[in-house]
Structures are given as C-alpha cells and as structure tokens.
Structure 1
Amino acid sequence: MMQEQLYAHFHPDEHRFVDKAAEWVERAEQHTVKLTDFLDPRQIFILTTLANRNPDVQVRFDGGHPGAERKRALVAPDYRVLDDEEMGISLIEITSEDEKLKELDHGDFMGAILGLGIKRDKIGDIYVREDGCHFLVASEIADYIRLNLSQVHRLHVRTEQLPLNKLKATETKLDEMFLSVASLRLDGIVSDVYRLSRAKVLVPIKAGRCKVNWKQEEDPSKPLKQGDVVSLQGFGRFKVLEVEGVTKKGRYRLKIGKYA
C-alpha cells in the first residue's frame, strides 16, 4: 500500500527509478552508503523527495562543479560526514589539431562517447568550446574513455584526463527565437519551435517522447510557463526564457532559447 501511495506522485515511467531511489534510502537507513551514477535534475528531485522523508538519511550531490546540471549522489546515514567523501568524478579533455574541431557540437561529442558502448548515466555535463571539449565522467570509466576515444565525427582527436580544478565550464549556448502563440499549450509551442504541424507533434507527445523539466509529459494541453525546459526526442530541447506579454489580439509573446 505504501508503495502505491508513493507511485501516485510520479509518472509510471518513473516508477523504476523511484524503486531504486527508495532502496538506496532504505539501505542508508541500515548504515549502507550508495554512490549513484549521474542523475538528471528530475531524478535528483525524486531522490531528494524520498530522502527528506527519512530523518536518518542524508544525500550529497556533486557534478564536478557548482553549476552542474547532472550530478552523482552519495546516499548515506545521517551521522556520516560526507564533505570529504570521494564522489568518483573525473574530467576528460578532447582536443585536435584539425581546424574543423570548432564546427563540432554537443551532439557530436556525446555520440562519440556513447559510441564506445558507455551508458549515458556514466556521463556528466559536456562543455563544448572552439578549441575542444571538457566533459565529466564517472571515474571508473575514465581510463577506458581516455584510451579508446580517438575520433569524433570522423576527426582524429587527443583525449587526456585532467584534474577537476582545470575544468573550463562554458555557458550553455541558446539560440533565441521569438514566437507569437494563441495559447501556452505544450503542443502549440513545440509545433512552432520545431516548425512541425500540430498533428505531427501530437504523436511523440502522446507516445511519451516529450519531457517538461525532465519529467515525461503526455498531455498536449499542458500549459508552459517561464523557465520551463522542454525536450522532444529526436529534435533537441528548448527553454521558455520569457513570457513577454499579450498582444492586442490576445496572443502570447514568447522568447524561446533553443539549445545549440
């Protein structure tokens, strides 16, 4: 019964992670420490919610630097001092002498890393610069990546492990666009951002391939608000930067930031 009450607060597709997080919290109560893989902001919210229900458990999150989006978690009994605990995060740098390196984007680097057979959960944030890329990984796979990652999008690259304090975190690039929409409905805004017909965006939304703030959203009529981050599988993601107001004809003016 308790599990059913817990499930009621989360999307069915999240129940598997809820089970895992609940088990980590339960084991921490029994004096076991768990270091997780990298979690996205929604998973961080779920784990925090479950841990806060138990006064005998604490969680420390770390993504390699203060502004990290994806973070590893250390779930432990409340009496344990976690400040000096090793979080198992390593920094990898990718460089190349090829001028075309500056043309590569986040997806190119991500594709090359995952192409090594590595799970997304082992990868933290990726920071792309004109002179290469810095990305954070679980320390247990750092050597494997360093030894095996030699190509990104057909470019030969050098891969080196650096101390965490050498991280050069770049600002996330957002391509700004302005929309005038009849309503703040999810399907309408997604349709305009990706220049797809309303009918074409309904299919992936209802099939569970759309997320709002990292939470699966299957309701096309869900109203979006300023600050919401929306992702559509296969098309990338965008952020509602600002709801600028309403026109005389009753349409909403929006500033959208598409992730590059």
Structure 2
Amino acid sequence: MTTGIYQHFRPEERILVDQLRDAIATAQVEYRPVVTPFANPRTRAIARMLLGDDDSMGMWSDGAFDDAEWQRIVFAPDYFTPQPEDFQVQLLDIKYPTKFAELHHSTILGTLVHQGIERDVFGDIETDGTRWQFAVDASMTNFFVDNIDHIGRVAVRLFPVTRDERVHGLSDWEEEVALLPGLRLDALVSHVYHVSRQRAKELVEHGEVTLNWQATSRPDAEIAPNDMVSVRGFGRIAVDAVTGQTAKGKLRLVTRVIRKQRGH
C-alpha cells in the first residue's frame, strides 16, 4: 500500500489509518494475532477496506455484548480461529443501591472518560433496565475496579462478570430511511431532527455535533456508511448504507436514529 491509500479516507483519519496499517503489518510479519483497542463502526469499516482482498489475513471483532457498537479487532493469519478470550474484553457489573438511586448512560460515560484514559480503552455501556454493565480492556480491569467507587453521586462497586452473565440491552434505535439532496452533515441533521438547514448548520458550527465521536465544525463534512453522528440535546444517527437515488435525484440513506425527549 502506498501513500495513495489516504485519498480514500478523511484527512482527520490519517493517524487512525496508520495505526491500523501497523497492526495489520505486525500480524503479517510476525505471523501472529494482533488485537486493537476498542473500535467504533467507522474504524472497523476502515480496517476492512485496508485489508481488501488479502486472503492470507483475517479480521474478526467482538465487544462481548450482543451487537456491540464498540468492538476490539483481531487481525491474524488465515490459520487462526479466534476464541472469545483472544479479544481480551472483560465485562464489569455495576453494583449500586437500585431501590434508592438511578444510573444513566451519560453519567456512567462521563465517569469513565474522566478517569484520564482514552475512549478506546472501554467499550459499550449496557442496561436491561436495572442492571448496568460495561466492557473494558481486560488488562485494565483492576484500574477500573480500584478507581471507580462513585458514578455521579451514587456509591458503586464494580465486579468482573463472565459473558454468560452479560445483560441483554434495551435498544432505543429506530430504523429510518432518509432522502437527502447530498451527503452533507448539516443536511442529515436537518432531515432527521426536523430543524431548518440554518439551525442544523449552527448546531455544527457551535460544536454541538460530533462525527464518529470527534468534534467537527464543518457543516459540509461528507457523511458515509458506518458513520455515527451525535447531536447534543437531540440524539444520535447511525448511517448504515447509501442504497441509491430516487427518480428525483435524492440519495437514499438507511439509518438508525435515537431521539432524546426534549426537556428531559
């Protein structure tokens, strides 16, 4: 692969592309499996593009939870068949006084990211309505257990659990088809959340929108399959596919959407 590979990706993805290429090269040269940090859907899509048609190498991913959004990737020679332990993912169960307190995804996420670690050290946060769990890099298990004793104002304790004990999360996603004049970020936000194009543009420019968990101030940023868009106060949009054009020339996008209840 030459430097021409970068033309297929966004400029801000260049470091990520290099990291993935290094992991693939290590697996090839040392002829052994290599596991990455937790990767979001866009990162996994880039990894698949980088592997291309190389039949000598395989790619697998796993995040412990069913249909996990964040998963660790294993690159390995074709002889290798990964087992769950090869992904080095540990589930942690959050024990808290369920009769007297409530936990929320945003509060748990905020607690984790304020531990001074990168986002790719932990995976999904899931709940079945009462129990809460999250996935972590197995090598960091003791760090989380030893350092987290409160989430918000709620006293908690963390306990490692097996995959068989994992919660089966409640999905808030709704599948929708979006018809857009183009693949601009502001056009998607405007369409999905029923706000004016100008309002969508302002949301992006004012830092209220992230694209693949990265802040962006570009309303004209081009969206692509496997992108994840988050709009503060509104919700999230997962772009699953671009399936063609309508007779009037609009692009047809298959998406999944979460809408927050306004004022909550």
Question: Does the TM-score normalized on the shorter chain lie above 0.5?
Answer: yes
**Mapped contact 2:91–2:160 kept (Cα < 8 A):** yes
Aligned partners of 1:224 and 1:9: how far apart in 2? 12
**Mapped contact 1:207–1:218 kept (Cα < 8 A):** no
Amino acid at match of 1:59: M
Aligned residues: 245
Give the structure 1 partner of residue 148 of structure 2. Answer: 149
Give the structure 2 partner of residue 42 of structure 1. Answer: 42
Aligned partners of 2:3 and 2:185: how far apart in 1? 29
Change in Cα spacing, 1:25 to 1:189, as seen in structure 2 (3 Å) is closer
**Mapped contact 1:181–1:188 kept (Cα < 8 A):** no
Q: Percent identity?
A: 26
**Mapped contact 1:114–1:120 kept (Cα < 8 A):** yes
SS in 1 for 2:81: coil
Change in Cα spacing, 1:215 to 1:9, as seen in structure 2 (3 Å) is farther
Aligned partners of 1:218 and 1:75: how far apart in 2? 33
Aligned partners of 1:186 and 1:129: how far apart in 2? 32
Give the structure 2 partner of residue 248 of structure 1. Answer: none
Matched, 1:139 2:138: yes
SS in 2 for 1:169: coil
Change in Cα spacing, 1:52 to 1:75, as seen in structure 2 (3 Å) is same
Give the structure 2 partner of residue 245 of structure 1. Answer: none
Give the structure 2 partner of residue 76 of structure 1. Answer: 76
Superposed displacement of residue 82, structure 1: 2.6
**Mapped contact 2:98–2:130 kept (Cα < 8 A):** no
**Mapped contact 1:187–1:198 kept (Cα < 8 A):** yes
Residues 170-224 of structure 1: CA distance to partner in whole angstroms, max 9, x if unpaired? 12224x7x9x999686425524766866445325646995427999794549699
Matched, 1:110 2:106: no
Alignment map for 1:182-193 (pairs within 5 Å): 186-191=185-190
Change in Cα spacing, 1:181 to 1:101, as seen in structure 2 (3 Å) is farther
Superposed displacement of residue 119, structure 1: 1.8
Amino acid at match of 1:173: D
Aligned partners of 1:182 and 1:74: how far apart in 2? 36
SS in 1 for 2:168: coil
SS in 1 for 2:2: helix
Q: Which runs of 5+ in 2 are unaligned?
A: 241-254
Give the structure 2 partner of residue 55 of structure 1. Answer: 55
Superposed displacement of residue 71, structure 1: 0.7
- TM-score normalised by length of structure 1: 0.75
- TM-score normalised by length of structure 2: 0.74
Change in Cα spacing, 1:116 to 1:197, as seen in structure 2 (3 Å) is same
SS in 1 for 2:69: coil
Alignment map for 1:99-248 (pairs within 5 Å): 99=99, 101-102=101-102, 104-174=103-173, 186-191=185-190, 198-203=197-202, 205=204, 209-211=209-211, 218=218, 220=220, 229-232=228-231, 236-238=235-237
SS in 2 for 1:13: helix
Aligned partners of 1:186 and 1:123: how far apart in 2? 27
Amino acid at match of 2:169: T
Give the structure 2 partner of residue 23 of structure 1. Answer: 22
Superposed displacement of residue 99, structure 1: 3.7
